[in-house]
Amino acid sequence: MKTNIKDIRKIIAGKQVYIWGAMIVGQGVCRAFERCGISINAFIDSSESLQGRKALGYPILSAQKTINENPFDEQVIIISSGHYDLEIEQICIEAGLMKGIHYVMSYDLNDVDPSIDISGICNLKCISCPRGNMDEHSSVGFMSSEEYKSVLDKLLRELPFLGSIQLYTWGEPLLNRELPEIIRITRDAKVLTALSSNLNVKRGYKEVVEAKLDWFKISASGFDESYEVTHTGGNWEVFLDNLYGLANLRERYHPDMQVVLNYHLYKHNIGDDYHRMEELCEKLDFIFRPSPAYLYPLDNVRDYIDGRPLSEEAEKTLELLLMGLDEGIEKALKRKKNRCPEERCLPIMWDRKVRFCGVYYKPYICEDFLTAPVDEILKNRITSKFCQQCIERGLHQFTGVYLAEKILS
C-alpha cells in the first residue's frame, strides 16, 4: 500500500530517521525527503566498506549496530536498498520491528525510477547493445534543457517522492551539449542525478563535474587490448585518459561525486585484465562493479526463441558470453513467477516517447510523455499483451538470472 507525505510525517514524528541503503536508491530517498522538508539522521548499511564514509553529507553507520543498540520506539528505518529490500525487511521483522511503526519500505513511497535518454545517439557500436547489434533505430537527436525541465516538472507533480533521474538509456549523455544545464536543473529541483558513459567522448567532463553530478557510472569490458572487442568502436587510449582525467576533476571540483565502473564480464576479459581494472579502480578510488554480460536487448532474445535469425554482431556476442543464451533462457523460465523488476522502470526518450521498459528496444508504450499521466502509462503497460507474453516466457527474469550468477569466486 502506498505511503504518502502525511503518513510518513506521522510515522517519523519525534524519532530518529535512518535510511538503510547508502547507494543510489537510498540517496535518492534522502533527496526526496530533503525536498519535502524532512531531515534524516544518518544512512545505515550492512557493507563494511561503506560504514564510516559519508553520503550526501550524512554519516554512514553500521546497520546491525543501529538496530541492536537503539531503542525501537526512538527510531524509524526507511528500507531503501533496491535489490535487497526484502532480505532487509526480513532482518527487521526478526529483530521485532513492525512495518509502518519502526520501518517503512521506500517502494511504498515511490515505485517508479524514471530514466531520461537525453541523447538519442551513441558514439560506439557495442555488439551486445542494440546500437551495435540491431539494424533499425529510431530518430536521432537530443533533448534540450528546456524540454527536459518540462518533463522533470511533470514527473515531480505526479511522483512527490521522486528520488533520482538516470540521464541515459541507450544513448551517450556526454554527446548532449546541454548536459551541464540539465544536471543543474535536476539538482535545483533536489533530485539525484546519475549517468552512464563509455568515456570515449573527448570533451565536456569538466563542465559535468562542475555542475555537480551525483553519480557517474562508467561502462567497460576489458583492459588494454581486450577493451575494444566488446566496447566496439571504442579506443582504449581515449578511455584511459578520460578515466584519469575524471579522477582529477572529481578531486578538484566535486569530491562527493560517486564514480562506479561497471565491468561487463565476458570470456575474453576475466583473466589478468579483470584484476588490472580492479586495481586501477582501487587506485583512483572508483567503485568497481563486475557483472556477467548478457545479450541485450530482449528483442534479440525473443527473436532467438522464435527462431528468427540474429545479426552477425549478436551472434558474436553469444560466443563470448560466460553463461550461454540457452541456459539463461531456461533459468529465467524457472523464475517466471517472480515479480518483474522492470515494473519500476519508465524510460523516456529524447523525443518524449516512452519505451515499454528498460530491457526492450523497439516497442513504445506512449508517443508523448507530456500528454499522458504516469499512472495511465503504467496501467497500459501492466495490462498489455506484450508484457503478458514476456512474463509467460520468463523473459522479465532474464537479466536477473545473469546478475545473480556468481561466475567469478
C-beta separation of 124 from 232 below 8 A: yes
- Residue closer to ligand SF4 by CB (options 210, 343) is 343
- At its nearest, how many Å lie between ligand SF4 and the CB of residue 345? 7
Work out the angle between the directed axes of helices 145-158 and 374-382 (0-180°, nearest 10): 80
- At its nearest, how many Å lie between ligand SF4 and the CB of residue 298? 7
- At its nearest, how many Å lie between ligand SF4 and the CB of residue 399? 8
- Residue closer to ligand SF4 by CB (options 315, 343) is 343
Cα angle for residues 286, 262, 178 (degrees, 5° grid)? 85
- At its nearest, how many Å lie between ligand SF4 and the CB of residue 356? 5
- At its nearest, how many Å lie between ligand SF4 and the CB of residue 403? 14
Q: 353: how many CB neighbours lie within 10 A of its CB? A: 18
- Residue closer to ligand SF4 by CB (options 79, 390) is 390
- Residue closer to ligand SF4 by CB (options 290, 341) is 341
Q: Give the residue among 253, 250, 273 at the shortest CA–CA distance from 263.
A: 273
Contact footprint for ligand SF4 (CB under 6 A): 340, 342-343, 356-357, 359-360, 386-387, 390-391, 395-396
- Residue closer to ligand SF4 by CB (options 85, 343) is 343
- At its nearest, how many Å lie between ligand SF4 and the CB of residue 116? 18
Q: Which residues pair with 76 in a beta bridge?
A: 17
- Residue closer to ligand SF4 by CB (options 239, 369) is 369
Phi and psi angles of residue 389, each rounded to the nearest 5 degrees, phi first: -65, -35
* Residue 376 CB partners (closer than 8 Å, separation 6+): none
- At its nearest, how many Å lie between ligand SF4 and the CB of residue 368? 20
Q: How far apart are CA 27 and CA 54, in angstroms?
A: 11
- Residue closer to ligand SF4 by CB (options 15, 362) is 362
**List of E strands, 232-379:** 258-265, 287-292, 345-348, 354-355, 364-366
Q: From its phi and psi, is residue 286 left (phi > 0), alpha (psi between -120 and 50) or beta?
A: beta
